[in-house]
Structure 1
Amino acid sequence: MQIHQMSVTYMPEQDRILMRINTVEGEEMRMWLTRRLMVGLWPLLSKLLTEHLLKLESAGASLSGATPELKKMLAEFRKEEFLQHADFDTPYKEGEHRLPLGEDPLLVTDVDAAPIASGPLRLNFNERPPNGDTKPRSFQMEMQPKLMQGLMHLLDQALLQSQWRESFVPVTATENAAVEDGEGRPKYLN
């Protein structure tokens, strides 16, 4: 399967993120991503992509003596480089696509993610219904780092729109102290 386009949209009425992937072959995979799933998935994908970029980078040069700050800076540089060459302006192609997963989007309950030595990152999206009445569905794809960074960018935009991202970041001790001292009282505007 070769990915042609991706779309990631926060749907406020569902309070879910709809991820759509269409392929060169004319298929479309639709998946719902919930807040609960993203709380664990976002940090995992961020970590895997950074580690994978560093591994690919170190294949050309030795990073064994590099500080963690230098490694992080190098990974961020690589991510920015990928984003500069990405096409986020072309609208997602709506239309008649074959739907191998069915009309209803896959309600993703868990994701298996693993880097492959040859370069891509393998993602397996699973829907495991709570009752045994419905057959589990899944979808697997492999993404090169450039495409994975594009997906991360789209997910980041959807997370900002959903306002879920704030809960992914732990509150610092100074912020806790400010709230306890009354400095962090909520303010309301008319």
Structure 2
Amino acid sequence: MQIHQMSVTYLPEQDRILMRINTTAAEEMRLWLTRRLMVGLWPLLSKMLTEHLLKLESAGAAVTGANPELKKMLAEFRKEEFLQHADFDTPYKEEQNRLPLGEEPLLVTDVDATPLAGGPLRLSFNERPPGGDRKPRNFQLEMAPKLMQGLMHLLEQALVQSQWREAFVPVSPPETAADDPDATRPRYLN
């Protein structure tokens, strides 16, 4: 399957993210991504993509022993380079395509992510409905690092719009002033 376009949109009335993948064979895959799924998936994909980009670097062997700051800077540089060449201006084609997964989007319950030796990342989106009254569905694709970085950028935009992103950032404890005697005393609200 050859990916032609991707669209990632937060739909507030559903409180879900709709991901659509359009292929060169005029097929469209539709996927629902929930907040519950993204809380675990976002950090995993971010980490996996960063590690994968570092492995693909020509200086990858020299980078493996480098400190985390250097690794992070190098990965960010590579991500920015990919994004500069990406096309986010072309509108998603809303034509009626064949829908191999059906009219109803796949409600993703889990994702299997595997980096492949040749460079792409394999993502398998699975829908496992509870109770067994419906047949499980799944969809698998392989994405080159450039395309994966484009998907991460679209997902990040949707996360910002949904305001889910705050849940993925650890909250630091409030700073207390050393000269404030009430700072160490617990406070209770009724």
TM-score (norm 1): 0.90
Which residue identity is paired with 2:49? Answer: L
d(CA) in 1 for partners of 2:81 and 2:15?
32
Shift of 1:20: 0.1
Shift of 1:63: 1.9
Q: Which residue of 2 aligns with 1:67?
A: 67
d(CA) in 1 for partners of 2:64 and 2:115?
20
Q: Which residue of 2 aligns with 1:102?
A: 102
Q: Secondary structure at the match of 1:31?
A: strand
Which residue identity is paired with 2:92? Answer: Y
Deviations 1:2-50 (A, max 9, x none): 0000000000000000000000011000000000000000000000000
Map of 1:151-170 to 2, 5 A cutoff? 151-170=151-170
Shift of 1:61: 5.5
TM-score (norm 2): 0.90
Map of 1:28-67 to 2, 5 A cutoff? 28-58=28-58, 62-67=62-67
Shift of 1:58: 4.5
d(CA) in 2 for partners of 1:69 and 1:145?
21
d(CA) in 1 for partners of 2:147 and 2:108?
20
Deviations 1:57-113 (A, max 9, x none): 156663244221111100000000000000000000011200000000000000000
Q: Which residue of 1 aligns with 2:186?
A: none
d(CA) in 1 for partners of 2:63 and 2:50?
14
Percent identity, aligned pairs only, is 82
Q: Secondary structure at the match of 2:52?
A: helix
Q: Secondary structure at the match of 1:123?
A: strand
Q: Which residue of 2 aligns with 1:92?
A: 92
Shift of 1:172: 0.6
d(CA) in 2 for partners of 1:58 and 1:172?
37
Q: Which residue of 2 aligns with 1:116?
A: 116
d(CA) in 2 for partners of 1:60 and 1:163?
35
Count matched residues. Answer: 179
d(CA) in 1 for partners of 2:12 and 2:56?
38
Provide structure 2 residue ranges, at least 5 long, that are not aligned to the other structure. 184-190
Deviations 1:102-144 (A, max 9, x none): 0000000000001001100000000000021100000000000
Q: Which residue of 2 aligns with 1:8?
A: 8
Q: Which residue of 2 aligns with 1:21?
A: 21
Deviations 1:123-181 (A, max 9, x none): 00000000211000000000000000000000000000000000111111236x69x96
Specify the structure having the higher radius of gyration (Cα).
Answer: 2
Which residue identity is paired with 2:165? Answer: R
